[in-house]
Amino acid sequence: MVWTHRNLLDVDSLSREEMELLLDQAGHMDQLLDRPIRKVPALRGRLMVNIFFEPSTRTRVSFELAQKFLGADVVNWSASTSSTTKGETLRDTAWTLEAMGADAVVIRHGMSGAPWYLKNKLHRASVFNAGDGAHAHPTQALLDVYTLHKNIGPLDGKKVVIIGDVLHSRVVRSNARAFRTMGAQVVLSGPRTLMPKEVAALEVEFEPDPGKAVSGADAVYLLRIQKERQEAGLFPSEDEYHRRFGVGPEMLAKVGKKAFIMHPGPMNRGVEIASVLADGPESLILQQVRSGVAVRMALLFLCLGGEVSE
């Protein structure tokens, strides 16, 4: 199996074999993170530009750590301090980055498809999608697959239930695909006002009753509920959301077996998730954060053709 990708826009470009290769590589990186000196020179001298048009802390820091641990030069181009706010187009930004010699661009953008647009405009640099609109978040999906796989082994036939604001979530679109590619069954649940009209287009099952949905689950994955959705009238109150769709001990009891709890962060405690579960033994939430660094290291390493010189 040879890795041929130079970019990652979404997980649908990856076959199961490729995903396994990436997870395998992430395993090596994970071990590296346990060493006293975590830095390797695999991407030394390569210029990585992280360009975030939307506020993001964990994804940006995770990419930056991955780049630094691999020895790359890192520039954070934050949209609020760049000429973007002066009305520069993404096209001009792309060409500017390339003129500065970027080998890779990591982009987070509020608009669906922006990373595809960027890639079409760049001649040389690799593009990594760190989240676009409510469309895709491929590295989140890969780190989630890695984390769950690390805890329960192969995902074939395992049941992953994702509950929450599917309509506005980029995470769920990439995750549903990635978990399915690895052989898992994916079931979505949440209020119908937060579901796309054709859930079937995501090629997953939909069960409106979260209590039924979680039955027999191996992992329950909660999506972040944003305050503005309630203000937009998509559900009546956070309290009611928590009672109907939030996951606490009562909901967990309906699983009927041991299930892990996952969340992409940042969490709204007391809305989509009860604190007792977020901090409990079933929670993989902090493991997800750590896996993020390892998976992004593996991805950059494979796509940019770095060599391990030890």
Which of 113, 211, 248, 270 is close enough to bind other proteins by CB under 8 A?
Answer: 113
Q: Is the CB of 132 or the CB of 144 nearer to other proteins?
A: 132
Q: Is 97 in the site for other proteins (CB under 8 A)?
A: no
Applying the rule CB under 8 A, the residues between 33 and 92 that interact with other proteins are 89-91
Which of 116, 215, 230, 287 is close enough to bind other proteins by CB under 8 A?
Answer: 116
Q: Is 263 in the site for other proteins (CB under 8 A)?
A: no
Applying the rule CB under 8 A, the residues between 122 and 141 that interact with other proteins are 133-136
Q: Which stretch binds other proteins (CB under 8 A): 41-49, 178-186, 196-204, 214-222?
A: 196-204
Q: Is the CB of 23 or the CB of 107 nearer to other proteins?
A: 107
The least distance separating other proteins from the CB of residue 92, rounded to whole angstroms, comes to 10
Q: Is 108 in the site for other proteins (CB under 8 A)?
A: no
Q: Are 265 and 226 in contact (CB under 8 A)?
A: no
Q: Is 215 in the site for other proteins (CB under 8 A)?
A: no
Q: Is the CB of 145 or the CB of 202 nearer to other proteins?
A: 202
Q: Judged by CB under 8 A, how many residues of this single chain contact other proteins?
A: 27
Residues in touch with other proteins (CB under 8 A): 9, 89-91, 109-114, 116-117, 120, 133-136, 168-170, 173, 196-199, 201-202
